[in-house]
Amino acid sequence: MGITSKGVPGGLATLGADGKLAAAQVPTGLAASASLNFPEVAAAGQQELTITVTGAAVGDAVALAPPVTLGAGLVATGRVSAANTVTVRLVNVTAEAIDPPAATWGARVFKA
């Protein structure tokens, strides 16, 4: 017997008897990755770079996949800033400047 619960955008998800969602009910979104080389981020400062994600639209939700080399003191956020464009913002929450290494970032966009 399945259990129905809210959880899928715009509808309901049905859990199977095993408690899992069917693969067809799991939103996959749009995905892309890019090598980003942020400049030095000043103490308490921020920097932004972009990733092209074809099909992304302003208002869509974004999940980032930052590199493991991100380092302590940096907080990353992502948003769709224009059609096909995800802006990645790095915020330095420390009192020292941080120069992050160039690395591959991933972005997944979920349609609003």
Give the domains, in start order, of the chain with CATH numbers. Answer: 28-110 (2.60.40)
- What per-residue confidence (pLDDT) applies to 11? 58
- Decide: 5 and 15 in contact? Cβ < 8 Å: yes
Whether the predicted model's global pTM rises above the 0.75 cut: yes
Give 75-108 pLDDT, tens digit per residue.
Answer: 999 999 999 999 999 999 999 999 999 999 999 9
According to the model, what pLDDT value does residue 16 have?
A: 77
- The b/e string for 10-41 (b: 16+ C-beta within 10 A; e otherwise) is eeebebeeeeeeeeeeeeebbebebebebeeb
For residue 54 the two structure tokens come to 């074809």
Q: With CA atoms as reference, report the closest residue to 51 among 107, 100, 103.
A: 107
Give the chain's end-to-end CA distance (angstroms, integer): 31
Q: pLDDT tens digits, residue range 29-77?
A: 899 999 999 999 999 999 999 999 999 999 999 999 999 989 899 999 9
- Distance of alpha carbon 25 from alpha carbon 77, whole angstroms: 26
As a whole number of angstroms, the distance between CA 62 and CA 78 comes to 6
Confidence (pLDDT) at 57: 96
DSSP state at residue 21: B
Q: Is the pLDDT of residue 3 over 60?
A: no
